[in-house]
Chain A
Amino acid sequence: MKRVLYPLIAAALVTIAPFLSTFEKGQDIVHGLFDFSVLALLLVFLFVRDKVPFARKLLMAIILVTLYVVAIADLQNILSYKGWRVGWRIIIPLATCLSAVVLLKPVKAFGLHGVSLFLFILLMAHFYLYQIFPSQPLLEFPIATWLARTASNPDWARNNLTTEFKEKNNATDSVSVTRYYVDTTRNNVVVLVESWGIPMDSTLFTKELAVFEGSIKDYGIHFRMYSRTRTAEREDLLDSAWRDSTRRRDSLFMPNRFAALGYKTSFLFGGDSTIQWRYKYIHNIGFKESFWTDSATTDIVMAEKIDSLLNQPDSVKHFIAWTTRDTRFPISDNVAETEKLYYERLFGTLQIVADLAKKHPDVRFLVQGDHEPILSPLEFQRKFYRRWVPFVVLN
C-alpha cells in the first residue's frame, strides 16, 4: 500500500502546491491532481535508486533535473493563465521536488513492469473518469500544455495589430472611409491602388507615405472585410445603407449622390470591362461614364486621362474613381523577385498619383489600397498585415 500511496502523494505535492500557492478567489483554472510526467519520473527515480547497478548517481541527477524542469513548466502554465510573472515562485517547484524525493526515501521501488502497470492504470482511470467529471481531471499533462501554449503561429502578428501601431496610424475599423473625406464643394478623385497593403516593416510604410509629402491632409489605416478588388471598389463608395418600411435593404452609393449634386461621375480602369465582371456592377453603383481600354494600360496613361478630364474647360465638377493596375498580381513565383518588382511598381504608381495631386491642388484626392498583396507566394504575403490597408487624403 505504502508503495502505491507514497508516490501518489509525492506527485500530488509537486502538482498541487504551485496551484494552491497561486490560488485566487474566483479563479477558473482546470488542473489535474497528479502530474503524469512527474509521477512517471518519480517512479523511474525510485527504480534507478534501488535497482540500477551502474551510473546510479548520474541517472538520478538527470531525472531530478528533468523533474524540476517539468514542474517549472507546470507552474508557468498556471501563471500564464493569470498573466503573472514567475519571479521568486521559481523556488516552489524546487522545494516540492526535493520534498517529494525525501518523502519517497522509505519507499521500495517497483520493477519496470510494476511502473508500467501503475502508469497504465492511472492513465486509463484518468480518461474514463474524465468522461464523468470533466471539471476535475485526475491527471495533468504539463509538457503537452506547455508546448501548445508556446507554439508560435506565423500568422498571429499579421492578424492582430498592436494597440500602439493602431494609435500611431489612426486606425479605423470602418470598412468605408471615402464618405468621411470627400468634399462636395470641389472635384474629387478616389484612387484605389491595386494591392497596396501595410508592410509589417514600418520603415517601408513610412517611405511609402513620404511619397505624398507636402500634400497630405490626413492619413490612416482601415480594415477590409475581404481581400478582393471587387469588394474594395464597391464597399468604399457606399454612402449609406438602410432598411425601408418593408424591411427591405436599400443603399446609396456615392456616385449617385454626387450625380444628384450635378457632378459628372466617371470610373477608370486600364483594362477591359470584363475583367472581374466590372461591366456588371460599375454601372449599377451609379457611374454615368466609364473608361476602359482594350489592352492592359499602365497607370501613367490613365493618370494622363484623369488629368485631361480635370483640365476640361467646362464648369462641371467631377467625381472620378480610378483603380490602378501596375501592381496587379501574379508577379512571380520567386519571393525575392516578387518583392523587388512589387515595390518598384508600387512606388511608381504612388509617385504618379502624388504628381497628379500636386498638379491639381484644388482637387480632393483620396488614395487607398484595395487589399494587401494576395495571389503571391505565402512567404511574401506574410510580410503584410492581413485585411488592413492604408488611406491617404491629399489636398
Chain B
Amino acid sequence: MIDKRAALYTLSINLFFLGLCLVFGNLRFGAIDDYFMSGILSGIYGENNVHLTFVNALYGYCLLPLYNLFPKINWYYIGELASIFISLSIAGYIIIRKMGERWGLILATLLTALCASDYYLVIQFTQCAAMLSAVGMLCIVYGLDKLGTDLEKKKKAFIIVSIGIVLLCWGSWMRWQAFLMGAPFFAMMFLMKTRELRNSKKTVLGTFLIIFVAVFGSHLFDRHMYHLPEYKTYIEFQGPRALLGDGQNYNQQAVYEDLDEMGYSGKDFTMLTDWTFYDNEAFAPDSIRIITDVIDRYFYRYNLQSWPALVLRALQKSVQSPIFFAWMSFCFALFVLRTKKDLWVWFSLVMVLFLIGYLLNLQRLVYRVETGLWLYATILTIPLLKERSNISKRIAVTMTFLIAMCNLCVYAISGFQVRAPNTGELVSVQNELVDYADYNGLQAYMDSLSDSTVFFMKMNSYMRLSRKKNPPYLAEPKGSWDRIYSFGFWTPYFPDVEKSFRKRGISNPIKDVVLDNVFVIDEPLLVDFLERHYYDKVQVDTIRNFGGMVVYKYSLVTDALMRAEQ
C-alpha cells in the first residue's frame, strides 16, 4: 500500500541529514523559552506541570507518560526533533510520489538539506509549529487531490488526509500563531485546486469541519487550562509583559516623559522595559495598566505608502535564508514542469510580502517567523508539482550524491555555525560558549547555602545560566530551579514559581531582596527603586564574583524604618 521505495528514499535522506546534525552540530534549543517549557514539564519547580504557556497543554499530556517511564530523557526536545523528522520525511515522500523517483529524489534532498540546519540545530517551538502545520496542510491537499482524481485509492487517500489532520493539530499545539500564519497559504492552495477538487466537495467540507473542530477545540481546551484561580495573575500579566519587554513599536521617550509628568517615575518604566518587573506591589498588573495605557497613545502608525520599499528591503534580506532558495527552486520547478500553475509563484510571493509587511508594522519581523512564512510558501508548492520527462538515473543519483556530499563538507567544517533565530545572521555557537563565568563555582556556592536561601537573577544572567545546564536531550532534574528565579522573563507569577518562594518566606520578589535569605545575582541597581517605593535607606554589598556572575546582598541600613510599616 505504501510506496516502499519512496519511503526508503525519504527515510534515508532524512536520516542522513539528522545524522549530520547530530554528529557535527551543537545540540541546543534555539530559544530559552523551550528550555524553560521543557523544564516546567519535567518539573524543575518540583512537580511535572503541563501549563507550558506557549505550547498547548495537550502536548504536555501526551509526553507525561514518557516522562514517568524515563524521567532522565527530555521528551519535549525529542518530540520537537521527531516533529521535524516526521514532517520532512513525509514532505519528501510526497515529493517523490508526485514527481517520480528521479526528479523527486533531487528535490526532496534539496528541501531537507536546506531545512536541516535551521530546524534541527536551532530547534524552536515556533519553527516546529510552522513545519508541522505546513506539512499537515500538504498532506491534506495531496490526499484530497488524490481522492478527487483517483477514486480507486480511496483508503490510501483517507489515511494521508488523516495524517495531515494529525500533523496540523500537532502544529497548532506547538504554537497557535505560527499555525494561523499558514492559514492564508492553505486557503490560497484550495483556490488553485478548485478544478481538481470540484468532484469531492463533501469530503473537502467534511475535512474542513474536522480540522476546525480539532484545532479550535484543542486551542480552547488549552486556554481553559489557565482559568484556574492560581493562574489568574499570571495570565493577566502576559499582555503587559510582552508589550513592555518586547514592544518596540511605540515612542518610548514620549511615554517616559508623560509618566514623569504624571508623577510616576520614568525610571520605573525603564526598569520594566529592561525586563525587571517581578514586584507584585509597585508593578502589579493593575498598576502597570496606567503605564500600558500611556503606551497605547504612542504606538507608531506607519504610513502605508512607505510599505512597498520597506518590504522590498526585507525581501533583500530574506534572500540570504536557505528556505528562500528552496522556495525559488520549487517555483522554478513549477515553470520547468509546465504545470500551468505558475500563478502560485506570484500569489505566494505577494502573500509572504504582505505578511512580512504586517510583521514589520508590528516591528516583530524575526528570522524564525520569516522563515516560517517562506516554509509555508515552499511546502505548499509541492501539491502543484507533477511528473514530467524523466532525467537519466545516473544524473539523479549524481545530483543527490553531490548535494549530500556538499552538505557533509559544510557540516564537517562549520557545523557549529547556525542562523540566529532572531536576526538570521550566521553565528557560531562556539562564540556563545566563550563565557568565562564560573558556573560550577556559582552552582557549588548555591548548593552550599541552606535550602531556605533563594536567588533572584537578572534575566540575561538567568538565560545564560540555563545554557550551562544539561544538554537538551537530558531532562533537568526535578526541583533543580526551585531556588533560582528571574526578575524578568515570562516566569513571573507562574504558580509553581510563586509557591516555591512563598514557602521560603518571600512574598514580593523585588521588595524582599533585603531579607536575609535572599541573594541577588547580577542586579546591583535596585537601590534607587527600593528607596523610592519601600525603604528609607538600602545598601548593596558584593558577596562573591564568579567570573562575571556577581552575587549581591541587599540590606536595610540600620534604623531605617520600612515606610510600609509607618
> Contacting chain A: which of B226-234, B259-267, B373-381?
B259-267
Contact of A375 among B262, B266, B305, B312 (CB under 8 A): B262
Residues of B within 8 A of A145 (CB): 309
Chain B residue nearest to A227 (CB atoms) is: B257
Chain A 273-284 per-residue mask, 1 if CB under 8 angstroms from chain B, else 0: 001110000000
The interface residues of chain B lying within 8 Å CB-to-CB of A127 are 315-316, 319
Say whether B138 faces chain A, with CB atoms less than 8 Å apart: no
What residues of chain B lie closer than 8 Å to A143, measured between beta carbons? 308
- Shortest CB distance A155–B (Å): 9
Query: Is B254 part of the contact surface with A, judged by Cβ < 8 Å?
Result: yes
B274 proximal to A (CB < 8 A): no
The reply on B298 being an interface residue by CB < 8 A is yes
Interface range for A: 20 to 34
Task: Determine if A141 is an interface residue (Cβ-Cβ < 8 Å).
Answer: yes
Measured CA separation A120–B347 after assembly (Å) = 12
A1 within 8 Å of B by Cβ?
no
Which of chain B's residues has its CB closest to A229's CB? B261
Evaluate contact between A144 and B308: CB separation under 8 angstroms: yes
Interface residues of B in 306-330 (CB under 8 A from A): 306-310, 312, 315-316, 319-320, 328
Per-residue CB contact flags for chain A residues 227-256 toward chain B (1 = under 8 Å, else 0) read 111100000000000000000000000000
The interface centre, meaning the residue of B260, B263, B312 with most chain A CB atoms within 10 A of its CB, is B260
Which residues in window 151-165 of A have CB below 8 A to B? 151-153
A116 near B312 with CB under 8 A, answer: no
Question: Are A144 and B309 in contact (CB-based, < 8 A)?
Answer: yes
- Contact A147 B261, CB 8 Å, known A116-B342, A378-B297: no
- Interface residue from A124, A153, A378 paired with B328 (Cβ < 8 Å): A124
Question: For residue A329, which residues in chain B have a CB less than 8 angstroms away from its CB?
Answer: 261
Interface string of B286-307 (1 = CB under 8 A from A): 0000000000011000010111
A378–B298 contact, CB under 8 A? yes
A377 to B258, CA, bound (A): 11
**Among the listed A113, A152, A275, which residue makes an inter-chain contact with B335, where contact means beta carbons less than 8 Å apart?**
A113
Chain A nearest CB from B492 CB (Å) reads: 27
Contact of A23 with B by CB under 8 A: no
Question: Which residues from chain A contact B309 at a C-beta distance below 8 Å?
Answer: 141, 144-145, 147-148
Residues on B with beta carbons closer than 8 Å to the beta carbon of A130: 316, 319
Chain A residues contacting B262 (CB-CB under 8 Å) are 330, 375
Q: How far is the CA of A229 from the CA of B328 in the complex (A)?
A: 57
CA–CA, A371 and B256, complex, Å: 14
Docked pose: A275 CA to B261 CA in angstroms: 9
Tell yes or no: A103 within 8 A of B by CB. Answer: no
User: Within 8 Å CB of B343, what residues of A?
Assistant: 116
Interface-central residue, A131, A150, A227, A277, by most chain B CB under 10 Å: A227
Are B346 and A116 within 8 A (Cβ)?
yes
Interface residues on B, range: 20 to 34
A148 near B261 with CB under 8 A, answer no
Q: Is A205's CB within 8 Å of the partner chain B? A: no
With the chains together, A145 CA to B309 CA distance in Å? 6
Report if A147-B345 is in contact (Cβ < 8 Å); known contacts: A230-B260, A374-B261, A375-B258: no
Residues of chain A with a CB closer than 8 A to B297's CB = 377-378
When distances are taken between beta carbons in the complex, the residues of chain A under 8 Å from B315 are: 127
Q: Give min CB distance, B310 to chain A, whole Å.
A: 8
Distance (whole angstroms) from the CB of A290 to the closest CB of chain B: 18
Q: Within residues 185 to 242 of chain A, which ones have a CB less than 8 A from any CB in chain B?
A: 226-230
CA distance A383 to B34 in the complex (A): 48
Which of A117, A144, A276 sits near B342, CB closer than 8 Å? A117
- B residues less than 8 Å from A226 (CB atoms): 253, 257
Residues of A close to B328: CB separation below 8 A:
124
CB distance from A126 to the nearest CB of B (A): 9
B312–A276 touching, CB < 8 Å: no
Q: Is A343 an interface residue (CB 8 A)?
A: no
Select which of A117, A120, A144, A153 is within 8 A of B303 by beta carbon. Answer: A153
What are the residues of chain A within 8 A of B394 when measuring CB–CB?
none
Contact A151 B257 (CB under 8 A): no
**A114 CB, nearest partner CB in chain B, Å:** 9
The answer to whether A128 has its CB under 8 Å from any CB of chain B is: yes
Contact residues of A with B, CB < 8 Å? Answer: 113, 116-117, 120, 124, 127-128, 130-131, 141, 143-145, 147-148, 150-153, 226-230, 275-277, 329-330, 371, 374-375, 377-378
Q: Which residues of B contact A (CB under 8 A)?
A: 253-254, 257-258, 260-263, 265-266, 297-298, 303, 305-310, 312, 315-316, 319-320, 328, 331-332, 335, 338, 340, 342-343, 345-346
List 12 interface pairs A-B (beta carbons < 8 Å), by A numbering: A113-B340, A116-B346, A127-B316, A143-B308, A147-B305, A148-B310, A151-B305, A151-B306, A226-B257, A229-B260, A375-B262, A378-B297
